[in-house]
Amino acid sequence: MREAAEAVRQQLELPEGWLNDAAKGFVSERHEVTDYDLPQFQHLRVVAPVPEYLLAMKCLASRIGSPGEADDKANIRFLLRQLGLRSPEAALEIAMEYYPPARHSDSREVPARGNFDRGTMKRPASLAEVAAHHSSRKVFGYAVVEFLDQFNIKQDAAMLAQEPPLLITKLHDEGVADAYLAAVAVQMSCTIGRVPPAWTRDAARFLRRPWFASAGPSLRATLLLESPAAFRERNLFVSENALDRA
């Protein structure tokens, strides 16, 4: 398919990436599509997500483009009007129908803030150290906090460069910690004006199902709206100041 897309791109002088598979990370197990009013061909069936499914996908992606770049805000507003939705809670309810929270969703799994007994553990000098030396969810969360303190002092891109070992089999958290570390790396890279390391784009750093930093339905609606892009694109929904350190 990629070869065919490239041939069409060259023939029609389309921009690179005109056809891509970026949406595959947002495919729901409840995959509701329709072929209504779409052209059909003998060897090709063309379908599109139903409006509710499309809204859920757009809300989870929530791309916020720079001036002149495409983003999802206009599409979300259009779909909200088309579906007659007037509150964040109503949009969240639809999103939850297509992307039910992970079974182990718990705000304590990856705390972004907290107190830490510095006498029990050396502050990690990199995200790789955060993952390499901590085998429980609670200690991992504390280590992230300690890392953020170190990074805010040094602001060194080298602290983000080395890929952390994957923790999904160690923490049994469905990949939350692995995606969280990638989001931290992307967010901190943006903070210091650097390009995020390549490992943050690995498929293992993206969740298939959404994870919320709170189990409360009302707060989830807030997290859905304000979660930073680095987290939201990985299906992680946290507060906008989740990485702030007082």
Tell which of 57, 83, 98 closes a domain. 98
pLDDT attached to residue 113: 39
Residue 160 lies in a domain: yes
Region 118-142: mean pLDDT is 76
Overall domain count for the chain = 2
Domain assignment of residue 195, given as a range: 127-237
pLDDT in tens, 161-213: 999 999 999 888 999 999 999 999 999 999 999 999 999 999 999 998 899 88
Residues 45, 6 within the same domain:
yes
- The residue among 98, 119, 141 that closes a domain is 98
Q: For residue 133, is it within any domain?
A: yes
Answer yes or no: is pLDDT of 68 > 70. no
| Neighbouring residues of 193: CB distance < 8 A, sequence distance ≥ 6 | none
Residue 52: pLDDT band (50, 70, 90) is: very high
Residue 101 is predicted with a pLDDT of 65
Instruction: Find the range with the poorest average confidence among 39-53, 119-133, 161-175, 225-239.
Output: 119-133
- pLDDT of 111 strictly over 80: no
Residue 107 within any structural domain of the chain = no
| 215 neighbors 106 (Cβ within 8 angstroms) | yes
CA dist 35 → 23, 25, 46, 221 (Å): 18, 22, 6, 31
Mean pLDDT of 80-99: 85
